[in-house]
Structure 1
Amino acid sequence: MYIEKGSQWNAAELETAAHEHLISPAEEMAKLGTSGGRPMFASADGVYIWDNRGHKLLDGPGGMWCTQVGYNSKPIADAISAQALRLCYNSPWYSLSGPAAELSKRISDFAPGDLNHVFFTTGGSSAVDSALRFVQFYNNVLGRPTKKAIICRIDGYHGSTHLTAACSGRAGNRPNFDLALENVSFISAPNVFRRPKGMTEAQFLDHLIAGFEERVNTLGPDNVGAFLAEPLLASGGILIPPKGYHARILEICRKHDILYISDEVVTGFGRCGHWFASEEVFDIVPDIITFAKGVTSGYVPLGGFVISDKVLSRVSGENAKGSYYTNGYTYSGHPVSCAAALANIEVFERDNILEHVRDIAPYFQEKLQELKTLPLVGDVRGTGLLGCVECVTNPEDTEASEFDKQVALRVDRYCYEGGLIVRPIGSMCVLSPALIITKEQIDEMVRILRDSIVKVQDELKAEGLWG
Structure 2
Amino acid sequence: MAAVQDLRATDITETSGDDAIELGKRHLIQPWPYAGSVGAEARALIGEGNGIYITDSSGKRLIDGPAGMWCVNIGHRREELAKAMYDQAMALSYNTPWYTMNAPSAELARRIAGHAPGDLSHVFYTTGGSSAVETALRFMQFYNNVRGRPEKKLILSRGGAYHGSTYLSASLNGRPRDRDWMDGADELVVKLSSPDPFRRPQGMSLAAFTDFLVDEFRDTVARVGADKIGAFVGEPVQASGGVVIAPDGYLKRIREICRDNDILYISDEVVTAFGRLGYVFASDEMFGIDPDMITFAKGVTSGYFPLGGVIISERLLEDLRRSNHPDAMFGHGLTYTSHPIGCAVALKNLDLLEEVVLAHAQEVAPYFQAQLKTLEELPLVGEVRGLGLMGCVECVADRDSKDPLQLDKDVGKRIDAHCHELGLLVRPLINMCVMSPPLIITREQIDDMVGILREGISRTMDDLHKEGVWHG
- Fold conserved (TM > 0.5)? yes
User: How far, CA to CA, are the matches of 1:220 and 1:251 in structure 2?
Assistant: 16
Query: Is the partner of 1:417 in helix, strand or coil?
Result: helix
Match of 1:155 among 160, 177, 188: 160
**Matched letter for residue 122 of structure 2:** H
Q: Structure 1 186/90 Cα, relative in aligned 2: closer, same or farther at 3 Å? A: same
Alignment correspondent of 1:390: 394
User: How far, CA to CA, are the matches of 1:303 and 1:335 in structure 2?
Assistant: 13
**Matched letter for residue 296 of structure 2:** F
Alignment correspondent of 1:139: 144
Task: Report the Cα offset of residue 173 of structure 1.
Answer: 1.3
Alignment correspondent of 1:353: 357
Contact 2:29–2:40 (CA under 8 A) maintained in structure 1: no
Alignment correspondent of 2:413: 409
Alignment correspondent of 1:445: 449
Alignment correspondent of 1:460: 464
**Matched letter for residue 261 of structure 1:** I
**Matched letter for residue 48 of structure 2:** S
Task: Report the Cα offset of residue 11 of structure 1.
Answer: 1.6
Task: Establish whether residue 182 from structure 1 lines up as the match of residue 187 from structure 2.
Answer: yes
Q: Structure 1 151/326 Cα, relative in aligned 2: closer, same or farther at 3 Å? A: same
User: How far, CA to CA, are the matches of 1:192 and 1:433 in structure 2?
Assistant: 24
Query: What is the 5 A alignment of 1:15-414?
Result: 15-32=21-38, 34=40, 37-317=42-322, 320-350=325-355, 352-397=356-401, 400-414=404-418
Q: Structure 1 253/228 Cα, relative in aligned 2: closer, same or farther at 3 Å? A: same
Q: Structure 1 77/319 Cα, relative in aligned 2: closer, same or farther at 3 Å? A: farther
Task: Report the Cα offset of residue 31 of structure 1.
Answer: 2.5
Task: Report the Cα offset of residue 170 of structure 1.
Answer: 1.4
**Matched letter for residue 82 of structure 1:** D
Q: Structure 1 378/53 Cα, relative in aligned 2: closer, same or farther at 3 Å? A: same
**1:230-262, CA deviations, whole angstroms, 9 ceiling, x for partnerless residues?**
001100000000000111001111111000000
Contact 1:313–1:319 (CA under 8 A) maintained in structure 2: no
User: How far, CA to CA, are the matches of 1:51 and 1:5 in structure 2?
Assistant: 20
Task: Report the Cα offset of residue 459 of structure 1.
Answer: 2.2
Task: Establish whether residue 430 from structure 1 lines up as the match of residue 438 from structure 2.
Answer: no
**Matched letter for residue 123 of structure 1:** G
Q: Structure 1 397/179 Cα, relative in aligned 2: closer, same or farther at 3 Å? A: farther
User: How far, CA to CA, are the matches of 1:238 and 1:331 in structure 2?
Assistant: 31
User: How far, CA to CA, are the matches of 1:285 and 1:33 in structure 2?
Assistant: 44
Task: Report the Cα offset of residue 320 of structure 1.
Answer: 4.9
Residue identity over aligned pairs, in percent, reads 50
Task: Report the Cα offset of residue 180 of structure 1.
Answer: 4.2
Contact 1:300–1:340 (CA under 8 A) maintained in structure 2: yes
**1:334-356, CA deviations, whole angstroms, 9 ceiling, x for partnerless residues?**
00000110111112123x11111
User: How far, CA to CA, are the matches of 1:225 and 1:34 in structure 2?
Assistant: 42
Query: Is the partner of 1:273 in helix, strand or coil?
Result: coil
Contact 1:120–1:127 (CA under 8 A) maintained in structure 2: yes
Contact 2:24–2:40 (CA under 8 A) maintained in structure 1: no
User: How far, CA to CA, are the matches of 2:402 and 2:230 in structure 1?
Assistant: 33
Task: Report the Cα offset of residue 25 of structure 1.
Answer: 0.4
User: How far, CA to CA, are the matches of 2:12 and 2:351 in structure 1?
Assistant: 29
Contact 2:30–2:38 (CA under 8 A) maintained in structure 1: no
Contact 2:65–2:437 (CA under 8 A) maintained in structure 1: yes
User: How far, CA to CA, are the matches of 1:252 and 1:457 in structure 2?
Assistant: 45
Match of 1:12 among 7, 14, 18: 18
**1:85-118, CA deviations, whole angstroms, 9 ceiling, x for partnerless residues?**
1100000000010110100000000101110000
Q: Structure 1 177/340 Cα, relative in aligned 2: closer, same or farther at 3 Å? A: same
Task: Report the Cα offset of residue 33 of structure 1.
Answer: 5.2
**1:416-453, CA deviations, whole angstroms, 9 ceiling, x for partnerless residues?**
11110010112100000000000011000000000011
CA RMSD of aligned residues (A): 1.4
Task: Report the Cα offset of residue 330 of structure 1.
Answer: 0.5
Query: Is the partner of 1:297 in helix, strand or coil?
Result: coil
User: How far, CA to CA, are the matches of 1:371 and 1:171 in structure 2?
Assistant: 25
- Residue segments in structure 2 that go unaligned for 5+ positions in a row: 1-9
Contact 2:276–2:390 (CA under 8 A) maintained in structure 1: yes
Task: Report the Cα offset of residue 51 of structure 1.
Answer: 1.0
Contact 2:396–2:402 (CA under 8 A) maintained in structure 1: no
Calculate the TM-score normalised by the size of structure 1: 0.96
Task: Establish whether residue 419 from structure 1 lines up as the match of residue 418 from structure 2.
Answer: no
Task: Report the Cα offset of residue 168 of structure 1.
Answer: 1.0
Q: Structure 1 33/92 Cα, relative in aligned 2: closer, same or farther at 3 Å? A: closer
Query: Is the partner of 2:410 in helix, strand or coil?
Result: helix
Task: Report the Cα offset of residue 315 of structure 1.
Answer: 0.6
Contact 1:116–1:309 (CA under 8 A) maintained in structure 2: yes
Task: Report the Cα offset of residue 460 of structure 1.
Answer: 1.9
User: How far, CA to CA, are the matches of 1:175 and 1:139 in structure 2?
Assistant: 31
Q: Structure 1 160/55 Cα, relative in aligned 2: closer, same or farther at 3 Å? A: same
Task: Report the Cα offset of residue 319 of structure 1.
Answer: 5.5
Query: Is the partner of 2:287 in helix, strand or coil?
Result: coil
User: How far, CA to CA, are the matches of 2:140 and 2:90 in structure 1?
Assistant: 38
- Residue segments in structure 1 that go unaligned for 5+ positions in a row: none
Task: Report the Cα offset of residue 394 of structure 1.
Answer: 2.0
